[in-house]
Chains A and B, each alone.
Chain A
């Protein structure tokens, strides 16, 4: 093992220009993320907590190199993703994959799920052993290899999220970015998917950035936590510390919302 972290985010800032209010004035600028910084080792999970507008999805898009930051760096295995050529980035992409919130929206309803799961392989130009690797990925997420021939509507919400995870791990990535991956699921299904993610981390040594608005969920799966509000980092630290003794009033509110007993 080297000392290079799996993922290092340094001083990451992203601003968006808003529509002009008037021809005579400059377009207002929204700072969606400001100075975010953390590092993540293999097998570790970082929870990113915040509400809509907090910048957590912006952070995810920057880590995934879907868009470029205005300042700062995203180092994946020591290489700055935003300083690479398109071709270099394309080759590196198999190493980091994303799981989205809505599995129904991210699976093509007219394609058998085996085709959707193999999509990242085709995008990387890989053509060998596709059937075998799809079967392997399906088995890893607790589905049957024969399920590859079915369509998305034949599965329940929880199973569809398993399919989305199978698609994310088929390239054998080192890093998984999960954006509200269990938020749309029922409590009992949510627990099954969280356990699956933990199993995969133990088996494959995956590092994970886990984005959620639910502090209880984050506490159950994350080693460290980053709390965002309006793009700024309010607090960060070991999950145990942040959840037991939150420093910021906003974190306390989130914790209150996550408790069963008032």
Chain B
């Protein structure tokens, strides 16, 4: 359905996204995790044909067998909302404050599907019901400011579903929300993907939310896909030192803050910070921060090594192990 082959996005000389490979089929639920600067949002924007004009795309991005890497805005307009749709992080910023939410949700139906207003309204009503908005009839007439953050996020999800896309991309959909609302939105996205047999890409820095919503996961670091595999396996037995570091740095509610002697327990950290775009290391981009560095890491880029079906990482440690 959607296939990325060595998709890269360059800003000047720097590759902010490097050789992304991905195959997405109907019903897949994929999590993409990484910290700021990992390229996860840029990847999502590429899939929506919304990468900034200053980005130079290379490689293949195929949607329904059509190569979109060099497609025009017109080509993208035919796909957006009907094939791929996106839910953004900030629900208040993504909704027009001067329009009733019903009109906003109906717009793509009128525009892309050529529905009559009456048919669009009926579909909007059923969408509001599907995403769990109570009193949909009344809610359609409300303005964004009259709704809570969770309700607004549901409206955005309804808007993204307006033209029955086959892929829904949710970029940090729960970050701005309170914990129990975030849980419900996460579960809603998962349920919608299952019921509609729609593919879901769930982008988040929140590992707990990704663990809940997805079957597979890709870990990104500084524009590279460094590890991938079934979500449960990657989170319970990470292979790449960055994934290990990321999971280790996360505070664990089950570990007490002080040890038996009453001393404060420090959290494991990844030293340093994500390198800036103009100062990316030549070899492995995690070199310099990695606790288990080999001589070749600084100069040679590690290739992605498959360790199992759909499971693998880009790390020299894996290829070393095979030589032994």
Residue numbers of A with Cβ under 8 A of B are 45, 51-52, 156-159, 186-192, 194-195, 198, 201-202, 213-217, 219-223, 239-240, 243-244, 250, 253-262
Known: A195-B266, A256-B183, A260-B211. A187 touches B253 (CB 8 A): no
Contact present for B273 and A223 (CB under 8 Å): no
CA distance A243 to B254 in the complex (A): 7
| B231-256 interface with A by 8 A CB criterion | 232, 235-236, 245-247, 249-256
B323 within 8 A of A: no
Partner of A220, one of B232, B236, B245, B267: B267
Specify which chain A residues have a CB less than 8 angstroms from the CB of B235 in the assembled complex. 260-261
Chain A nearest Cβ from B183, distance in angstroms: 5
**Among listed B82-90, B257-265, B313-321, interface-contacting one:** B257-265
Return chain B residues, CB-CB under 8 Å to A187: 35, 205, 207, 246, 249-250
Known: A223-B258, A261-B236. A216 touches B250 (CB 8 A): yes
Given A186-B35, A188-B270, A195-B267: A257 touches B180 (CB 8 Å cut-off): yes
Q: In the docked arrangement, what's the CA distance between A256 and B209, Å? A: 10
Shortest distance between the CB of B279 and any CB in chain A (Å) = 12
Contact indicator B264/A202 (Cβ below 8 Å)? yes
By the criterion CB–CB under 8 Å, are B256 and A239 in contact? yes
- Looking at A187, A191, A256, A262, the one whose CB has the most chain B CB atoms below 10 A away is A187
Q: Within the assembled complex, what's the spacing in Å between the Cα atoms of A168 and B122? A: 56
- Chain A nearest CB from B4 CB (Å) reads 25
Contact between B205 and A255, CB atoms less than 8 A apart: no
Q: List B contacts of A254 (CB < 8 A).
A: 179-180
Asked if B246 and A188 make an inter-chain contact with CB atoms under 8 angstroms apart, the answer reads yes
* B208 CB–A CB distance under 8 Å: yes
- Selected from B178, B232, B258, B269, the residue in CB contact (under 8 A) with A51 is B178
Task: Give the contacting residue for A219; candidates B182, B253, B266, B268; CB below 8 A.
Answer: B253
Which B residue's beta carbon lies closest to that of A199?
B266
B39 to chain A, nearest CB (A): 14
Task: Contact check, B257 vs A223: say whether CB atoms are below 8 A apart.
Answer: yes
- A157-B36, A187-B205, A260-B211 known, 19 other contacts, Cβ within 8 Å: A156-B273, A187-B35, A188-B245, A191-B270, A194-B267, A195-B266, A214-B251, A216-B251, A216-B252, A217-B251, A219-B251, A219-B254, A220-B255, A220-B267, A223-B258, A257-B183, A259-B253, A260-B235, A261-B232
CB-based nearest A residue for B149: A52
Residue of A nearest to B247 (CB): A260
Q: Which of A45, A159, A191, A255 contacts B251 (CB 8 A)?
A: A191
Q: Give B contacts to A, CB under 8 Å.
A: 35-36, 149, 178-180, 182-183, 205, 207-208, 211-212, 232, 235-236, 245-247, 249-258, 264-270, 273-274
Q: Do B179 and A190 touch (CB < 8 A)?
A: no
On chain B, the residues within 8 Å of A192 by CB distance are 269
Tell whether, in the assembled complex, residue A259 and residue B208 are in contact, meaning their CB atoms are under 8 Å apart: yes
What residues of chain A lie closer than 8 Å to B247, measured between beta carbons? 260
Q: Are B256 and A219 in contact (CB under 8 A)?
A: yes
Residue pairs across A and B with Cβ atoms less than 8 A apart, 26 shown, are A52-B178, A186-B35, A186-B36, A187-B35, A187-B205, A188-B249, A188-B269, A189-B35, A191-B267, A191-B270, A213-B179, A214-B251, A215-B253, A216-B251, A219-B251, A219-B252, A219-B257, A222-B257, A223-B257, A239-B256, A260-B208, A260-B252, A261-B211, A261-B232, A261-B235, A262-B212
Considering residues B149, B236, B251, which has the most beta carbons from chain A within 10 angstroms of its beta carbon? B251
CB within 8 A of A191: which of B179, B205, B268, B274?
B268
Residues of A within 8 A of B211 (CB): 260-262
Q: Which of A51, A198, A258, A262 has a CB less than 8 Å from the CB of B253?
A: A258
Residues of B within 8 A of A250 (CB): 180
- Chain B residues contacting A223 (CB-CB under 8 Å) are 257-258
How far apart are A56's CB and chain B's nearest CB, in angstroms? Answer: 12
- A54, closest chain B residue (CB): B178
Q: Contact check, B264 vs A158: say whether CB atoms are below 8 A apart.
A: no
Within the assembled complex, what's the spacing in Å between the Cα atoms of A222 and B254? 13
What is the CA–CA distance of A261 and B212 in the complex, to the nearest angstrom?
7
Report which residue of B207, B264, B265 has the largest number of chain A beta carbons within 10 angstroms of its beta carbon: B264
Question: Is A195 touching B269 in the complex (CB atoms < 8 A)?
Answer: yes
Is B273's CB under 8 angstroms from A189's CB?
yes
**CA–CA, A37 to B67, complex, Å?**
63
CA distance A198 to B245 in the complex (A): 20
**Cα–Cα distance between A52 and B208 once the two chains are bound (Å):** 20
> B246, A257: Cβ atoms under 8 Å?
no
In angstroms, Cα B180 to Cα A255, docked, is: 10
Q: Which residues of B contact A216 (CB under 8 A)?
A: 250-253
Bound complex: CA A244 to CA B257 (Å) = 12
| B276 CB to nearest chain A CB (Å) | 9
**Smallest CB separation, B288 vs chain A (Å):** 14
Select one of B36, B250, B258, B273 contacting A260, CB under 8 A.
B250
Report chain A residues within 8 Å CB of B250. 187, 191, 216, 260
